[in-house]
Structure 1
Amino acid sequence: MGDVAVGARSGHEGPEEPEQGGAGPAGAGEGREPEVTESGADTPRGHGRTSAPKKPRPFWKELPLLIVIALVLALIIKTFLVQAFSIPSGSMQNTLQVSDRVLVDKLTPWFGSKPSRGEVIVFKDPDRWLENEPTPTPNILQKGLSFIGLMPSADEKDLIKRVIGVGGDTVECNGTSPLKVNGKPLDEPYVFQGNTPCSVDEGGQFKVKVPKDKLWVMGDHRQASADSRYHQTDRNQGFVPVDNVIGRAFVIAWPPNRWSTLSVPDTFHQSGLSAAAYATAPAALGLVGAFPLVLWRRRRLSAERTDG
């Protein structure tokens, strides 16, 4: 009445020795061949099977998707980040030549940054400044490339000038003397060779105060630029609304031999140029002076609590 071993046959006292070469109960391996997995190990059918690796799709099938992604990215970059513009005239010579391609930063205005003196900006026509200027008619291919930002816009009436005065500034020209901003004469090495910073023609003599959120702009080719000076009778009195600014031109990208950055000239960094400098300086100094006093007071209060 003892225990019966698992798998023992009836009528035998003990387990039957497996036949030589067997791997389990009789018939378990009959008529079956082991499978070979990718690692080379023998595995019974239906256990541990791994599927064969999928073949990569042909490149020509992936190409349309890559093109769509590239176009979408180009459109996003053109709309929110950077756009190329072509220079159609000589009003900014010698800083910019006709047919130069410049890249314009469109991102910083999204964060509330406003144009500063000395920057070269691209802006929408404030009030029919380009009314009498011919507009080229682009073909379908040019329109498509312009739309995604791979070519400069050809059918848009935009202008490019240098910011001379911002809101609160007083800008004046008297005779052929240097241009003045808030009473400070500007040294302007970027003015076209042979031009005078101020001219004695009609519109060339002026003294204006720039309203808030407006700009006074002028071309570097002073005697060949229809800028703020010559539009003082329009609805904006020659000023450019900040909202019309598309962005700041920061580099000449084409042709390659003209590649250079468009930085703000040193003349706009001279001390005392800003009309608001005297108003903001005391506040800044007061803030700096108050910091040590506040720190000393906090330490004293902390020490009194510790002693108590």
Structure 2
Amino acid sequence: MAVGARSGHGEPEDRPSSGGIPAESAGRAEGDGVPPGDGFPGGDSPGDDSPGGGSTAQKKPRSFWKELPLLIGIALILALLIKTFLVQAFSIPSDSMQNTLQRGDRVLVDKLTPWFGSEPERGEVVVFHDPGGWLEDTATPEPNAVQKFLSFIGLMPSAEEKDLIKRVIAVGGDTVECKKNGPVIVNGKALDDKSFIFGGNSACDDEPFGPIHVPEGRIWVMGDHRQNSLDSRYHQELPGQGTVSTDEVVGRAIVVAWPVNRWATLPVPSTFDQPGLNKAAAAAPAALGVAGALPLVFWRRRRLTSGRTAG
């Protein structure tokens, strides 16, 4: 039946309207593109809920319990991706980083920046895999199935991996040393470590060292509790002479996340920002200046020589 097209009673359905347009065409023009009764049983349009209309009922939403497994699956995938590429939780098992970190603290480690080629910097607290021989005498607890699963997706620190956490003191290209009763010296600059080492500790009286040249791609690390940390000083007989390859670094510890009353960020102490500490950076501007000046000097000498010859 056309809409708004028929003007009288008993007239044929195919009679043209006053405007010369067939009634059926006029109905299509005035409607939404499909006239009532065209292709739908019972003359009803889609979605018509009138009795006998023959339309299908509105689809019911899934129940919460049916969607719950899907939501859990998505959450687990996101947690795994975050643990793999962004951040991971680690537990502090010893007192070697007091008072910066306490035994039982949970720290979040930034794993994203190493993916973009970022190297550890002096003063950062980093987590790294055992370079080999550092934890060979340390017993590793056997976790249960639940702990293994939670650590796999990053919701719990791993109990199986042999990881360590220390502060970076020197990086590749640096020279580091520490004599008895003296401070730690990096590239000829003494570090003021009183703000972060354990109260009452000396810089290295229990194990003086150096001078040691740190190879490129490696770091020299020390614990903040100097007299209770088996750090780079105690592994100089191993390959690398106590240094750690940057390939073994998991990431930088950026925040203490647990317990709540211990929440704190882990910034780089200001002593690592002192001028002249970075030899490579200090030498770079001078080298660039010399390289830029050489062409000017040669050009000037050539011009003077040409002037003298012409005279």
**1:73 partner letter:** L
Which residue identity does 2:80 align to in structure 1? L
Which of 37, 52, 62 lines up with 1:44 in the alignment? 37
**1:279: Cα distance to partner?**
1.7
How far is 1:44 from its partner? Answer: 3.4
Indicate the residue corresponding to 2:111 in structure 1.
106
* Structure 1 segments of 4+ aligned residues over 6 angstroms from their partners: 286-289
2:225 is the counterpart of 1:228: no
Q: Is the 8 A contact 1:126 1:236 kept in 2?
A: no
Q: Does residue 137 of the first structure (1) align with residue 137 of the second (2)?
A: no
Residue equivalent to 1:195: 201
* C-alpha distance in structure 2 between counterparts of 1:277 and 1:60, whole Å: 60
Q: Whole-Å Cα distance in 1 between the matches of residues 139 and 94 of structure 2? A: 12
* Mapping 1:162-173, distance limit 5 Å: 162-173=167-178
Question: Per the alignment, do residues 260 and 19 of structure 1 end up closer, same or farther by CA in structure 2, a change over 3 Å counting?
Answer: same
Q: Which consecutive residues of structure 2, in runs of 5 or more, have no partner in the other structure?
A: 1-6, 15-34, 48-55, 297-311
Query: SS of 2:250's equivalent?
Result: strand
- Which residue identity does 2:274 align to in structure 1? Q
1:63 equivalent in structure 2: 68
Aligned length: 259
CA separation in 1, counterparts of 2:111 and 2:105? 19
What are the Cα deviations for residues 93-113 of structure 1, in whole angstroms up to 9, with x where unaligned? 000000100000111111111
Does 1:219 find its partner at 2:233? no
In 2, Cα distance between equivalents of 1:239 and 1:91: 17
Q: Please, which of 240, 250, 259 is the counterpart of residue 255 of structure 1?
A: 259
The AA in structure 1 aligned to 2:237 is: T
Alignment of 1:1-308 (within 5 A): 18-19=8-9, 24=13, 43-44=36-37, 46-47=39-40, 48-50=45-47, 51-188=56-193, 189-199=195-205, 201=206, 203-283=207-287
What TM-score results when the alignment is normalised by the length of structure 2? 0.77
Report the Cα offset of residue 254 of structure 1.
0.5
Q: CA deviation at 1:198?
A: 1.8
User: Structure 1: which 5+ residue stretches go unaligned?
Assistant: 1-16, 26-41, 294-308
1:133-191 per-position Cα deviation (integer Å, ceiling 9, x unaligned): 12111111010000000001111100000000001111111112111101111111101
Residue identity matched to 2:63: P
CA deviations 1:233-289 (Å, max 9, x no partner) are: 011210101110010001101011111111111000000001213321225667999
2 CA distance for matches of 1:278 and 1:129? Answer: 34
Say which SS state the counterpart of residue 155 (structure 1) adopts. coil
Task: Letter of the 2:217 partner, please give it.
Answer: D
In the superposition, the TM-score normalised over structure 1's length comes to: 0.78
Maintained 8 Å contact 1:122/1:160? yes
Quick check: 1:127–1:236 contact (8 Å CA) kept in 2?
A: no
SS at match of 2:279: coil
Q: 1:63 to 1:282 in 2, by over 3 A?
A: same
**Cα 1:269/1:287, change in 2 over 3 Å:** farther
How far apart are the structure 2 equivalents of 1:190 and 1:49?
Answer: 73
Distance, in Å, in 1 between the alignment partners of 2:80 and 2:291 is 45
User: What is the percent sequence identity of the aligned residues?
Assistant: 62
